[in-house]
Amino acid sequence: MIISGKELSTQMKADMAVRVSGFPERFGRVPHLVVILVGDDPGSLSYVRGKSKACDVVGIRNTTICRPADLPETELLSLIRELNEDAGVDGILVQLPLPAHIDEAKVIGAIAQDKDVDGFHPLNVAALWQKQPCVRPCTPEGIIRMLKSAGVEIRGKRAVVVGRSNIVGLPVAKLLLDENATVTVAHSRTVDLAAVTRQAEILVVAVGRPKFVTADMVAPGAVVIDVGVNRDPETGRLCGDVDFESIEPKASFITPVPGGVGPMTIACLMENTIGCFLRHQA
Ligand code: NDP
């Protein structure tokens, strides 16, 4: 069975659009998301366009601020400070990756915690790990939503996450743990990775290598969540970290690329923006 992130995210956005349509009357305005893009990386440009389109569907006001790749770090930080102080802005998202001369951690840390719609601010990360209220990071949250929508029971399952990045691997491992899965996190130094992934009843792959996980690495009946977004070197088409064709017949559930985790990430970003907006009204 294929878990369609496209379908689920379309439904989520339609539900949010209904909610947001009532905001002008209740609050006098709609949520406002500001996205900052530094440079002209084509991948980043397409992500930013996707976010802006989703805002239009949901009825969220969207401002995209584009700056050249040689923008000094100090200028980016002062732009963020201005937006932090602007009461008409609910969410601030700096599209990653940033050019090498800019310190990403410094930039993420400069965003006001209550406007950090990505959930990357150190205080939000700490709150997540301490099970405190926080902005939950979009991709991991989208993955949990997909599992639940497919009726996958997470509690008690052996989950393996391949990848330990701050934005995907680590937080998704934490969310799976919070759902009472027994979680293993694998990475580039894991010995005999295939033996580890074959143990998984739920396998989440966030590595960034086209078709990295092959059928022999997956147990029959496993639920496979493919986070990767890559170009297939042979066809030039988008593909995931998982070899979909050979694994799909073996898995009980699998997410496609495109149309899987990607659209769910954006839908969860819309939810986070609404959440920040509502907290600003309180
Ligand atoms: P990172 O490059 O930050 O992390 C990759 C992880 O994979 C690292 O932990 C690394 O291990 C591990 N890894 C690399 N090679 C191997 C290997 N041979 N065996 C086992 N583990 C390995 O990537 P991200 O987490 O940011 O992204 C992963 C993928 O997900 C990318 O394709 C990205 O484009 C995509 N993505 C998709 C999103 C979506 O919305 N669909 C959102 C965010 C990302 P180590 O730590 O040891 O180096």
Residue 228 CA to residue 216 CA, distance in Å, equals 19
Residue 93 CA to residue 144 CA, distance in Å, equals 22
Tell me, rounded to whole angstroms, the distance of Cα 112 from its chain centroid: 19
- Around ligand 1, the residues with Cβ closer than 6 Å are 139, 162-165, 167-169, 186-190, 193, 206-208, 227-230, 261-262, 265
Q: At 231, phi and psi to the nearest 5?
A: -100, 130
pLDDT in tens, the chain (282 residues): 999 999 999 999 999 999 999 999 999 999 999 999 999 998 899 999 999 999 999 999 999 999 999 999 999 999 999 999 999 999 999 999 999 999 999 999 999 999 999 999 999 999 999 999 999 999 999 999 999 999 999 999 999 999 999 999 999 999 999 999 999 999 999 999 999 999 999 999 999 999 999 999 999 999 999 999 999 999 999 999 999 999 999 999 999 999 999 999 999 999 999 999 999 998
- Give the global pTM: 0.97
User: Whose alpha carbon is nearest atom 6 of ligand 1?
Assistant: 163
Which among 205, 227, 241 is the best mutation to test ligand 1's pocket, defined by most ligand atoms within 8 Å of the CB?
Answer: 227
Which among 9, 144, 164, 165 is the best mutation to test ligand 1's pocket, defined by most ligand atoms within 8 Å of the CB?
Answer: 165
Q: At 4, phi and psi to the nearest 5?
A: -90, 105
Distance from residue 224's CA to the centre of ligand 1 (Å): 16
pLDDT in the model for residue 282: 87
Residue 163 CA to residue 173 CA, distance in Å, equals 10
For residue range 54-102, what is the model confidence (pLDDT) as tens digits?
999 999 999 999 999 999 999 999 999 999 999 999 999 999 999 999 9
